[in-house]
């Protein structure tokens, strides 16, 4: 790195905002389906929240091990626990999303079903 004063980009969250079209489309479909079914008004920003959850899930070694050694119904218990922990960590930045998940159990179950199916599909590709 050359000497001098330059602005450094933060490490980490940048990839959340650099979604490819193939990743963005399924997330758009999830947001649209949830908005239509539950009358919510989630936006493009909420898509980033879901993507952040998915990225954190993909880096969770305990979840990966659970999916590898357990039948789907048992792995789902681990998945739900990990997602709940992630939501607690994200409460400050995504309160509206967190509130919808905690206030509406049908909404939470539907979204978790979609995310779990996507997680399993991605883990099979790895």
The CA radius of gyration of the chain, in Å to the nearest whole number, is: 16
Structure tokens at 27: 């997330």
The whole-model pTM stands at: 0.72
| Residue 22 confidence (pLDDT) | 54
> What's the pLDDT score for residue 83?
95
Q: Quick one: pLDDT at residue 13?
A: 39
pLDDT for the residue numbered 44: 78
First to last CA, the chain: 34
HSE-up of residue 107 (Cα within 13 Å, Cβ side)? 18
- Residue 60: strand, helix, or coil: coil
| pLDDT digits (tens), the chain, 126 positions | 444 455 545 444 334 334 455 555 778 888 888 889 999 888 878 888 888 899 999 989 999 999 999 999 999 999 999 999 999 998 888 888 899 999 999 999 999 999 999 999 888 876
Rounded Cα distance between 15 and 11, Å, is 9
Alpha-carbon distance 116 to 7, whole Å?
39
Boundaries of every domain in the chain = 43-125
pLDDT of the residue at 104: 93
């Amino acid at each position: 790195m050359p000497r001098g004063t330059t602005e450094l980009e933060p490490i980490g969250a940048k990839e959340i905002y650099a979604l490819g079209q193939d990743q963005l489309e399924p997330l758009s479909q999830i947001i649209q389906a949830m908005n239509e079914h539950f009358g919510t008004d989630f936006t493009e920003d909420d898509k980033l929240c879901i993507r952040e959850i998915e990225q954190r899930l993909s880096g969770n070694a305990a979840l990966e091990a659970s999916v590898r050694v357990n039948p789907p119904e048992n792995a789902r218990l681990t998945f739900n626990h990990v997602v709940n922990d992630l939501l607690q960590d994200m409460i400050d930045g995504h309160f509206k999303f967190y509130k919808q998940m905690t206030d509406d159990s049908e909404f939470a179950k539907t979204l978790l079903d979609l995310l779990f199916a996507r997680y399993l599909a991605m883990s099979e590709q790895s």
